[in-house]
Amino acid sequence: MASSLIAGAVSLLLIIIAGYVIATGILMVAETTVYTQMDVSYNQELIKQTDISMDYSWDSGTLSLNVFNNGSTSFTSKDFLNMDLFTYDSVNKTRRYSKANCDPFNVTTASDIINKGMWDPSEVLLVNISLTQKPTWAKFVTPNGVTATASVI
């Protein structure tokens, strides 16, 4: 009689511990899923709020781009490291330039009015790059994937 009582108590304790472990695992997975969905939604909202356009000038080996922030997204100085410029010309074909790994890629904000060191809405970003060949087109890409393209004729 005592052994069946002990076996029942141990069985009940094992069921409670197993339920706790399973519930904790499910809650952890659910929490991770919720945070991931929130991050994806936030990034999609930033993409929707980002709108850029650009114009260019070519002067003796220097391509100068004026990139206009027409949306409502601000970019920090860390974001400048993740901005890319792609150019295409008949000699070098497509080339990628990034502030993170290319010295001639100089980014400065022309009208830094509100938050110094950030690229805020309605501000202009000046991008200068030294090139040996005049490109046919240039594409500027923000860190969240929004692009602006200009035909350099």
Residues β-bridged to residue 128? 64, 106
What pLDDT sits at residue 139? 93
d(CA 140, CA 150): 9
Cα distance between the two ends of the chain: 96
Structure tokens at 40: 């994806």
pLDDT tens digits, 75-116: 888 888 888 889 898 877 888 888 766 656 666 766 777 778
Model confidence over 30-54: pLDDT tens digits?
Answer: 888 888 888 888 878 878 888 899 9
Taking the C-alpha atoms of residue 101 and residue 53, their distance in angstroms, rounded to an integer, is: 24
Taking alpha carbons only, the member of 87, 86, 70 closest to residue 125 is: 70
Please report, as a single letter, which amino acid is at residue 34.
V
